[in-house]
Structure 1
Amino acid sequence: MNLATRPPYETVDFKALAKQDKAFNSIWQTTSGKLDFQDPETTKSLTKAILKADFGLQLEVPDDRLCPPVPNRWNYVSWIQGLLDSTNFDYSERYDPERRVIGLDIGTGASAIYTMLCLKSRPSWTMCATDIDKKSFDYAARNLSNNGLITRTKLLQTIESQPLIPLQYLGVEKLDFTICNPPFFTDEKDMRQSLNGETKSWRPNAVCTGAENEMVCKGGDLGFVTRMVEESLALREKVTWYTSLLGKMISAKAIITLLKGKGITNWAVGSIDVGGGTKRWIVAWSFGDYRPCNSIARIEKIANEYLPFPTEYRFALPANVDANAAKHTIDQQAHRLHLRWNWDAQNATGIGEAAGNVWSRAYRREHERKKKEAAASGGNDMEMQDDLEDMEVAIAFRIKVLHSTREVVIDWLRGSDQVLWESFCGMVHRSFKKS
C-alpha cells in the first residue's frame, strides 16, 4: 500500500496482525484472542506491531511515558494530509509528491509518533518537533534516529516561558501546519478521576501510561489550544494551518466560538473515532483564503453554527438540458466574463479565478466600455488579458458537470467573501433555470 495516500483506519485486524508480528502473536495466543487493553504490555506490544507492520517503523517507549494507539494518531495525520491536499496552490486536491511541506509537532512525546508518521508517509515533508520534558525529548530523538528520520526533523526542547509555536527558536520563518495532542486534564485530580472512569458512565477502554506533564496543564486542552489561538493572532499567515486535537466536544465548540469572536472565518472541524468508546475532535484554522473541501472541513456532526461555511454547491440539471449542453453553457459563460478560466473538456471540469464580482451587470458594462475605449485608441484584447495576469484573486472556483447524476457541482477553492461566493453560485444556477 502507498503510504502517501493510505486511508484512515476503520478497524484493526488483530488476527492478521498476530501472523505478522511474533511478539504480538505471543500475547494473542496467551489471551486466546481476548486482548486486555488495561494491560500496559498488551497495549505497547500492539502499538509496536502496528507501526512495524503498517509503516515499517520501530518504537521504543519507557514504561512511564505515553504509548500511543496508532489508529487514532494515523487518522489525525491522514486528516491533515487531506486538509493540505485540498488547499493546494494549484487547486488539484491531490497529493503532490513535489510539494515541500514543513510541519510542527507540538509536544511530540517520547514516541514522536506524529512526526514519524508524517515523515514516513510523505517523503517530501520535513518536521519540527518540540517537547518540554527532557526524558520524552531524548526518547523522541532516539526513535527518530533509529528510523532514519532525524535528518528531516528539527528537534527543540522547550521551556514553559517559550511560545508553543517557537518559530524564532526553531530558525523557521513559515510552517504549513501544526499538529498537536495537548494535555486534556486541568489537574492531577481531574486526570485520575477520568482514568478511573469516575466522571464517565464507562471505564476507559485502554490503560494510560502517560506522565503527568503529558496529561495535565493549566486549563486542560481548552486552555492549551486557547493559548495556540492567541499566538496565532500574532503569527497569522506564518502558519498556513493551525490544528489541534481536543478531548471533548465542548472544548472544540469553545475554540470555534473563540475563533469566530476573533474574526477568523476559515476553519475546519474533524473527528476521530476508531471504536472503543474514545472519540476526539480536531479544529483547524487559517488566516489564508484557500478553502478546504466539505469532506474535510465539515465532517463532524455538530450544530451548524460551529461548522465552517459550505464550500460546495450543487444542483440538478433541468430535464430539458443534457450534460453535454451543460458543459457548453458553462464554458461559454465563463469565457464571456473577465476572469482567468481553464476548461478541461475531457473531465468536464473548469477552474476559474476572478478579482471580484465580474458577473454583475455593472462590472460587465464597465468592462465593455473599457474594451471599446482600448480598441478606439489602437489597443487590443492582449492588453486586457495583461490585467488578468496581474490581478489579485478574490475568488477561485471549480465547476464540474457530473454525467452520472446529471448535476453541476461548484467548489469554493479560494476567497474570504462568503457573499461573493454565494453570488457566484446563484449566477451559475440561474443560467440553467432560464433553460
Structure 2
Amino acid sequence: MLPKKKEHPEEKSGLHPRNKHRKRYDFQQLIKSSPELRPYVRVNEFRDESIDFFNPEAVKALNKALLKQYYGIGYWDIPKNYLCPPIPGRADYLHYVADLLGSMQPDGQKNKVPRGPQIKVLDVGVGANCVYPIIGNREYGWSFIGADIDPVSIASAQKIVDKNLSLQGQIECRWQPNPKHIFQGILKQDERIDLSICNPPFHASSAEAQSGSVRKLRNLKQKSIAKPVLNFGGQSNELWCEGGESRFIGNMIQESKQFAGSCLWFSTLVSKSAHLKEAYKALQAVGAVEVKTIPMSQGNKTSRMVAWTFLTPEQQKSWVQTRWKESS
C-alpha cells in the first residue's frame, strides 16, 4: 500500500513575505528553465516530485535552476566540494537586512527599501557560490564587495560575475590575504559601505563539523551513518574556524570598531542562541550605539540576525540623506 500523499501548506510562512521561495518548488517549471535538473527529479514515497537532498549534484542542479528562473543567472557553478547553500535561507537574510535599511528612511519614505547601486554591501565570506551578492543585486540593485580568505572561492565567484552580463560592474571580488582579519585589508581608506553581512563558520573544528553532519543525516534518514556526504558541500574555512561561530563573531565585532565610521550597519547571522550573550557583551565593550536582533525561521531551523551601528541617530540621518539620494 502506498503511503498517503503528504499534505503541505500553501506557503512556507516562516520565510520573509518578499521571499520568492515561499511556495513549494514547481519542479516542472524549474526543469523548463534548466533542463539539466531533470535527471535528479523523482516522485518520492509521498507521491511528491522532489530531488534527493542527500545528493550534492542534485542540490547543485536545483540551485542552478532556482538562480536561473528567479534571478536570471545564466551561468552558475562551484568547484567540487565547495559550499552549495540553500537559496531560500540566503534570500531571507537579504530581505531582513533590506527591511533594516528601509527603517532608516525619512518619514515620507519610511520602511521603503532603498534600491540601486549606491547602496554598497560587503559580504564577509562570499564563498565560491557568490549567492548573497547575486540575490541582493538582482532583488534590490545593490552593489557588492565579496570578500574571502580562499583564492579558489574568489576565482569562482569572479567567474560567475564575469559570465553574467547583469552582474558585471555590480560585484567586486576581493581576496583577504590575512585570515585573522575581516575588514582590515578589504575596506579601503575612506571607503564607505552601507551594510556588512556575514554567515560565519558554524563549527569550532573539523571533527565537530563531521560529527554535526553525521548527527543531522542520522536524524533525517533515521538510520546509522558512519561517514557523512556533505549534501551542501563545504571547505574547511566555510564550515569551521578556531573557536567556532562565537569567537568569529567576537573577532568581527572587535574589528568593526576600527571601521566605526565606514559602515552604517554591521550584521551577522547567529545560528546558536547560546552565542547571543557573548555577542551582546562584546558589542557593549566596543561601544555600539544601537543593536538590533531580528529572528529568522526556515522550516524547522530557527536563526537570527544581529546588527549593530556605531553611528548616533543624527549621524545615521545624515548618512541616509547624503548617500541614498538616488534611491527609489
Band of TM-score, shorter chain: 0.7 to 0.9
Q: Quote the residue 1:12 is aligned against.
A: 24
- Deviation track 1:155-212 (CA, whole Å, cap 9, x = no partner) reads 21112356301366545521111111111111111101101117x9834998231011
* Aligned match for 1:285, one of 308, 311, 327: 308
Give the structure 2 partner of residue 242 of structure 1.
266
Taking structure 2 as the reference length, the TM-score comes to: 0.78
Alignment match, 2:39: 26
Q: Kindly tell me: are residues 204 and 72 of structure 1, through their superposed partners in 2, closer, same or farther at Cα, counting changes over 3 Å? A: farther
Write the mapping of 1:35-46 to structure 2, written as runs, cut at 5 A. 35-46=51-62
Residue 29 of structure 1 deviates from its aligned partner by 3.8
Paired residues for 1:34-433 under 5 Å: 34-57=50-73, 58-89=75-106, 92=109, 93-97=111-115, 100-123=118-141, 125-148=142-165, 149-160=167-178, 163-166=181-184, 170=188, 173-197=191-215, 202-203=219-220, 207-275=231-299, 277-290=300-313
**Residue 106 of structure 1 contacts residue 180 of structure 1 at CA under 8 Å; is this kept in 2?**
yes
Q: Deviations over 1:88-108 (max 9, x none)?
A: 256622134467211101111
The amino acid of 1:52's aligned partner reads K
Aligned partner of 2:232: which letter?
C
| Inter-partner Cα distance in structure 2 for 1:98 and 1:153 | 13
Give the drift of 1:248: 1.1
User: Do the aligned partners of 2:148 and 2:154 also contact (CA within 8 Å) in 1?
Assistant: yes
Letter of the aligned partner of 1:86 in structure 2? S
Distance 2:233 2:258 in 1: 35
Q: Distance in 2 between matches of 1:167 and 1:240?
A: 19
Q: Which amino acid aligns with 1:107?
A: G
| Residue 122 of structure 1: how far off its partner (Å) | 2.2
Q: 2 CA distance for matches of 1:85 and 1:394?
A: 16
* Superposed displacement of residue 121, structure 1: 1.9
2:232 partner SS: coil
Output the CA distance in 2 between the equivalents of 1:62 and 1:98. 31
Output the amino acid matched with 2:135: L
Which residue matches 2:325?
A: none
Alignment RMSD: 3.0
Moved more, 240-249 or 259-268: 259-268
State the TM-score, normalizing by the size of structure 1.
0.60
Distance in 2 (alpha carbons) for counterparts of 1:169 and 1:394:
20
Aligned residues: 288
Larger RCO of the pair (alpha carbons < 8 Å, separation 6+): 2
Is the 1:107–1:129 contact (alpha carbons within 8 Å) kept by the matching residues of 2? yes
8 Å Cα contact 2:295/2:303 also seen in 1: yes
1:114 shift after superposition: 0.8
1:239 Cα offset (Å): 1.0
Runs of 5+ consecutive residues of structure 2 not aligned to the other structure:
1-15, 223-229, 318-328
Residues 197, 204 of structure 1: 8 Å contact kept: no
Shift of 1:30: 6.7
> Kindly, what percent of the aligned residue pairs are identical?
24
In structure 2, the CA distance between the partners of 1:150 and 1:6, relative to structure 1 (3 Å rule), is farther
Gaps of 5+ in 1: 291-392, 397-435
Query: What secondary structure, in the 3-state scheme, does the structure 2 residue paired with 1:72 have?
Result: helix
Shift of 1:63: 1.9
**Which whole-Å CA distance do the structure 1 matches of 2:260 and 2:211 have between them?**
37
Q: Secondary structure at the match of 1:209?
A: coil
- Give the partner amino acid of 1:56: G
Letter in 2 for 1:182: P
- Counterpart code for 1:230: Q
Deviations 1:216-235 (A, max 9, x none): 11111111111111012222
Q: Secondary structure at the match of 2:261?
A: helix
Please give the alpha-carbon distance, in whole angstroms, between the structure 2 residues aligned to 1:98 and 1:53.
22
| Contact preservation (8 Å) 1:217, 1:224 | yes
